[in-house]
């Protein structure tokens, strides 16, 4: 709820800021400031808008991935994700959320896309068609994080399991260790450690990182 409120507040501030920019860009002869400024023919430059959004949401969203990092990057779903879901923030990985969570989260994001797309003179955000939205959600669900069912944490009282539950449950559902191999887990935990810092969460120590990585690798697929 807190993140959702912060995001809406950010969008409101952006709208107010854009109106101010537009007003400033009107010259003495009533013409819009076009060349060399942030407004191009009355429309905000996409890169500037992206930069503003990323700065305002720096403590809300983790670092993103590249198109080639996505599962099945040449698929229609991956291309739609890259096209529509990196307009305002970094490209999210489908493994950020579970199959059960993605439809709700995607609908919330697509609703914001539609809202911003209704202001084409300001935001330059595009919204997917209903058919594209279905393909996008199907892709996210197909490559979603595999979460651990409640009560099925391996060796739940071990030091590694306790740290795993305390740390990895801060931002998302606990992932099933079996969805990755033992060689894959160190890099994933390293990336999650960086995400914690970006999102203002408690960052694990190097000792804790080793403990969590060892636990996940032990129970990997």
**pLDDT per position as a tens digit, 199-213:** 888 899 999 999 999
**pLDDT per position as a tens digit, 143-154:** 999 999 888 999
Tokens of residue 184, six digits: 């894959």
Q: Is 109 helix (H, G, I), strand (E, B) or coil?
A: helix
Model pTM score: 0.68
Q: What crossing angle do the helices spanning 206-218 and 185-198 adopt, rounded to 10°? A: 140
Tokens of residue 126, six digits: 């595009």
Which range scores top for mean pLDDT: 55-59, 95-99, 137-141?
137-141
**pLDDT per position as a tens digit, 165-208:** 999 988 888 999 999 999 999 999 998 898 888 788 889 999 99
Phi-psi region of 126 (alpha: psi -120 to 50; beta: other; left: phi over 0): beta
CA distance 141 to 131: 16
pLDDT at site 2: 46
């Amino acid at each position: 709820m807190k993140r959702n409120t912060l995001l809406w507040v950010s969008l409101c501030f952006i709208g107010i800021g854009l109106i101010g920019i537009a007003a400033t860009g009107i010259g003495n002869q009533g013409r819009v400031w076009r060349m060399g400024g942030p407004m191009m023919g009355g429309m905000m430059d996409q890169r500037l808008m992206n930069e503003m959004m990323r700065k305002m949401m720096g403590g809300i969203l983790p670092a993103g991935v590249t198109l080639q990092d996505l599962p099945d990057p040449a698929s229609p779903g991956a291309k739609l994700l890259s096209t529509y879901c990196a307009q305002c923030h970094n490209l999210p990985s489908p493994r950020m959320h579970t199959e059960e969570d993605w439809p709700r989260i995607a609908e919330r994001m697509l609703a914001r896309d539609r809202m911003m797309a209704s202001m084409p003179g300001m935001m330059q955000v595009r919204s997917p068609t209903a058919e594209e939205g279905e393909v996008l959600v199907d892709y996210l669900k197909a490559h979603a994080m595999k979460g651990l069912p409640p009560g099925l944490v391996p060796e739940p009282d071990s030091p590694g399991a306790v740290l795993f539950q305390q740390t990895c449950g801060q931002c998302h559902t606990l992932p099933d260790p079996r969805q990755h191999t033992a060689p894959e887990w160190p890099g994933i935990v390293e990336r999650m450690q960086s995400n914690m810092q970006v999102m203002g969460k408690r960052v694990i120590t190097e000792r804790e990182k080793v403990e969590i990585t060892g636990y996940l690798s032990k129970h990997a697929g």
